[in-house]
Amino acid sequence: MSQQNTKKVLIVTNMGPKASAPFQGQFVKNQVDALAAINPAYCYMRWHNDSLLNKLLKYPVLWLQFVWNFVFCRTRYDIIHVHYFYPTIWLALTYRWLRNPKVKIVVTCHGSDIYLYKPEPKLYKFAAAQVQHFIFTSEQLRQKFFCTPPSAEVLPAGIHPVFAEATQKNITDKPIDILYVGTLDLNKGMDRLLALLPKLSQYQIAVVGQGPYRGALQQAASQYTNLRLCQPAGPLELKQYFENSKCFISLSRNESFGLVMTEAMACYTPVVATQTDGSLAQTQHGHSGFCLSQQNEVQLLEQLSHTIQQLLSLPAAEYRQLQLVGREKAEQYLVTQVAEKLQQLYQRL
């Protein structure tokens, strides 16, 4: 964007770090940092924890915070980019109604803002009609939206620039056999991981993250000494985990894109994943990773165990080929490239 044509951009998200998930919403912050050339303002959920009071009041507090800091301020924004469509969209609409009726609204849908609203309420559909441009993190997610927006595209959130500098290691130089990074909850398949532990007892497994299943995993770690639980980590430390792991597993039930898979592939770590919107968008079975059907839970666990063992026993040349194909696939999703496309979009609007 040329300096004289720079538009004032405000990025809004309902995500933010909390004690149990200190890096929640990091991918949105990565975009904000990558857009430093246009100096966007940033509104995120600052009051965020796991208490019942927070669950009841976090959205009213976020709305009040937004109104105080961005509606009643001197700066007039031309574009509001909302991450996570519903109900976060009501902040952008408040700004349009109270401050700037000409503001353009861009929305990035991340998954649950579509998955959790079936059938779609009338207010959901009303809000969608007020959006000038939709971004979906995968083509499969776009197809699940209730309508075809007149202006839309597919664009993942992007991975941190640190992953561009990853080092390719031979399989024999990686001390961790199996790695999982992410939230430790049911949707991410932590019950599946617990069920797989007896079948994978000969492998070194590292789990990085926080969530409701951490207690169950800690208990399992006392029985399975090959399981190591690690605290959530920032991009630089995560890069080291990925580089030192032979295989990354994604056991999710729903995943709109799954940037952690992208980060793994960027670090030359092949992925074994359950079939989700995100894994279908990123992994070509047998070429850039492995993608397994979720239709039958018993068969899925057997296939996961078999595929992981198959991957870990690949000849060095075949393993290197998987690494290279995955890396090539992931490079297009670096946040610096995503930010360039966003700047072009903002300028068009």
* Residue 205 neighbours by CB under 8 Å, 6+ apart: 176, 177, 178, 179, 180, 197, 224, 226, 227, 228
Using the CB atoms, write b or e for 282-314: b if 16+ within 10 Å: bbeeeebbbbbebeeeeebbebbeebbeebbeb
Q: pLDDT digit string (tens) for 17-73?
A: 988 888 889 999 999 999 999 999 999 999 999 899 999 999 999 999 999 999 999
What does R_g of the chain's alpha carbons equal in angstroms?
21
Task: For residue 168, give the nearest of 89, 246, 231 by alpha carbon.
Answer: 246
In the prediction, which pLDDT does 28 show? 95
Using the CB atoms, write b or e for 25-46: b if 16+ within 10 Å: bbbbbbbbebbeebebbbbbbe
Q: What is the DSSP letter of 25?
A: T
Q: Give 32's strand partners.
A: none
Neighbours of 171 (CB within 10 A): 21
Q: Rounded to two decimals, what is the model's pTM? A: 0.90
Task: Kindly state the greatest CA–CA separation across the chain.
Answer: 63
In the prediction, which pLDDT does 288 show? 84
**How open is the CA angle 332-252-255, to the nearest 5 degrees?**
45
Q: How far apart are CA 77 and CA 95, in angstroms?
A: 9
Strands (E) located in the chain: 9-13, 41-43, 79-83, 104-109, 133-136, 152-154, 176-181, 205-208, 227-230, 245-250, 271-274, 290-292
Find out whether 115 and 151 touch, Cβ atoms under 8 Å: no
In the prediction, which pLDDT does 5 show? 58
Q: Give 154's strand partners.
A: 136
**Topology at the third CATH level for domain 161-331:** Rossmann fold (3.40.50)
Q: How far apart are CA 238 and CA 246, in angstroms?
A: 14
User: What residues does CATH 3.40.50.2000 cover in the chain?
Assistant: 3-158+334-348, 161-331
Distances (CA, A) of 332 to 169, 255, 329: 21, 19, 6
Residues in the chain: 349
Return the CATH number of the domain spanning residue range 3-158+334-348: 3.40.50.2000
The list of the chain residues with pLDDT below 50 reads 1-4
In the prediction, which pLDDT does 276 show? 95
CA dihedral of 47, 52, 55, 60, whole degrees rounded to 10: -70
Find out whether 187 and 210 touch, Cβ atoms under 8 Å: no
